[in-house]
Structure 1
Amino acid sequence: MSIRSGVAAALVSIAVTGVGAFGAGPSAALPRSPGDTPMCAGVGTPRTVVAQPTAFEAVAFDRSGRMLVSDLMGNRLIAVDRPGAAPRKVARVESPGGIAPLPNGRVLVGSGSGPAAAVSPDSASLVEVNPGTGAHSVYADGLSMANGVVRAPDGTVYASSNIVSAIDRISPDRKVSRAWFSDSPGNGLAVSADGRTLFANVSLGDTRILAVDTATGTSRTYFRPPAGLDWVFFDDLDIDAGGTLYAPIYLGGQVWRIGRDGSHCALAENLTTPAGISVGASGAGFSATSVYVTTHAGSVIEIPGAVPSIAR
């Protein structure tokens, strides 16, 4: 079995049998403690804000501050219009993955992020969705997976895969550059405020976070876990206005905050399969000082006070 096929098989196994929402399979052994990771100071107690019997993948906030969540197992995009509101289905999206807000109030959602991507590459797409009406249409297709999706300030969109070594690039005129950047498979993406740097997880193998120059496509290692923690599996990724990164540690049950100086600490621990992450937004009543984390156990968790004051 090749390394790539082995990775694909392992991820399919996680997606099919390892979802904590069903209380069985490999997830029963999670989380695993990632050593002596220090806890971040001044952070509030995590609290569950959404709980459903499914597997949530990504979370994001649209221009109005509405929370959007991709339901991987339910093939739908859901919205939580304000804190305490009941989640509602916005649109059907097949195996939804990453979510990227657009300036027009709509969002881009990756479609084709499930196990089928392992056997049918280049079949994923981006769907543009109106969170208010549910109207949706294909924005771009022929992608590798779109598990992580991020939009740069100039309108360029990047989509990642945890099955094949590819980050696809979609220009503002929707031209797809397939496998614009290739490295080990990974999920999360985040882009700097000036659009010059794309941060990308390498989730398997040589686990780390890369900083990719968006002009040249060259990369360097930006952050690497401490020795002995190469198994932690970085899942999603987000960045705040001050350049601090946030990453769910899928196999370690933690959420890490990673500073620009290379330091890191845990915002939360003992979570079950944390998968997606987003810095909050205040427009609809959610908190811009919190980060919000999805899990494959069917919950969205708010971590209050997670965002340093410098980025608020």
Structure 2
Amino acid sequence: MSAVEVAAPAHAALGEGPTWDARAGRLLWVDILGSRIHTYDPVSGRRTVTATEQHVGAVKPRVGGGLVVNLRDGVGLYGPAGSEGSPEGEAAASAPAAGPFRWLHREPVPGRRANDAAVAPDGSLWCGTMRYDETPGGGTLSRIAPDGTVRVLLDDVSVSNGTGWSPDGRRVYYIDSPTRRVDVFDVGDDGLPVARRPFATVENGFPDGLTVDAEGGVWVALWDGGAVHRYTPDGALDRVLELPVRRPTACAFGGAGLTDLYITTARTGLSAPHPMSGSLLVVPDAGKGLAQPEFAG
């Protein structure tokens, strides 16, 4: 495994949600508290940053072009794609949105914001929320259908984070960070989660975002743990990727062969952050990822 490198230098307060956009050949990620959507093209090195009007927990590509975003007050759609954000370094506050915006589902709750999200094999968006003060049980995990229909899957979440499916789609992994666990559900014939049970427990730090590789291994970023852990499909820890930053937040495979592991990081709450904190990191040739579905809405 190669050493960790800086893919895109940044000072994101709370970098999150790396996602490989295969159609565009770029990596998408967000700065939640900075209200920014970032893109990075590893071939050209081109980077963009787009401002959002609200804190943004996640961004994913859409089947028809454009983006779906998990915002503070709900889920919205940009696009279809046709305009980019401003090149990195220009005034982000004046950056145009990535196409026209509309709400797909709007449900503002005072004191609550969006967090991580993932697209299920059926093209729906599983999106999480949390209280700004991290009140236990103050968040949710919901399924947003392409037509905007909402089904609440979990209504007592504290900090909704990583979500990912096994290669055969029969299991879904999920993290509520304060539990210090990665849990696993079976997936029913209707695509909904059943039979929740512990999959792995973290002792050093808090599990945050996750991704699943082509072998069914589960890679988990450890907030305040300074590492990414890989677990085998039976829950055994088999790799530890130590990082120079204290607060990695999430990870995803990207690049043309889906072999490079991208890792988002945070600076928020650190009195003396490492120079790499807030940047998008990459570990070349870390493994082999799974192609991720696009949101069908």
Fold in common (TM above 0.5): yes
Q: 1:105 to 1:266 in 2, by over 3 A?
A: farther
Deviation per CA, 1:282-303, whole angstroms, max 9, x where unpaired? 1xxxx51111001113200001
Aligned to 2:185: 212
Contact 1:291/1:307, CA 8 A, preserved across alignment: yes
Query: 3-state SS of the aligned residue for 1:159?
Result: strand
| TM-score, normalised relative to structure 1 | 0.71
Aligned to 2:94: none
Give matches, 1:5-84, under 5 Å: 43-55=1-13, 56-62=15-21, 63-83=23-43
Is there any run of 5+ residues in structure 1 with no aligned partner, and where?
1-42, 113-122
Is there any run of 5+ residues in structure 2 with no aligned partner, and where?
84-97, 132-137, 267-276, 292-297
Query: 3-state SS of the aligned residue for 1:85?
Result: coil
Contact 1:60/1:69, CA 8 A, preserved across alignment: yes
Give matches, 1:171-186, under 5 Å: 171-177=145-151, 179-185=152-158, 186=160
Percent sequence identity over aligned pairs:
26
RMSD: 2.6
**In the comparison of the two structures, how many residue pairs are matched?**
250
Q: 1:81 to 1:310 in 2, by over 3 A?
A: closer
Q: 1:88 to 1:309 in 2, by over 3 A?
A: closer
1:298 matches 2:268 = no
Name the structure where helix makes up a greater proportion of residues. Answer: 1
Which residue of 113, 118, 126 maps to 1:158?
126
The one-letter code sitting in structure 1 at the alignment partner of 2:16 is E
1:201 matches 2:175 = yes
Write the distance in 1 (CA, Å) between the matches of 2:49 and 2:63. Answer: 22
Write the distance in 2 (CA, Å) between the matches of 1:195 and 1:128. Answer: 27
1:139 matches 2:139 = no
Aligned to 2:222: 249
Aligned to 2:59: 99
Write the distance in 1 (CA, Å) between the matches of 2:289 and 2:124. Answer: 29
Q: 1:200 to 1:156 in 2, by over 3 A?
A: same
Write the distance in 2 (CA, Å) between the matches of 1:217 and 1:65. Answer: 31
The one-letter code sitting in structure 1 at the alignment partner of 2:282 is E
Which residue of 213, 235, 255 maps to 1:240?
213
Write the distance in 1 (CA, Å) between the matches of 2:41 and 2:279. Answer: 16
| TM-score, normalised relative to structure 2 | 0.74
Deviation per CA, 1:142-173, whole angstroms, max 9, x where unpaired? 27643111111212211113432421111232
Deviation at 1:128, TM superposition (A): 3.6
Contact 1:189/1:198, CA 8 A, preserved across alignment: yes
Q: 1:139 to 1:128 in 2, by over 3 A?
A: farther
Which residue of 70, 77, 80 maps to 1:127?
77
The one-letter code sitting in structure 2 at the alignment partner of 1:124 is G
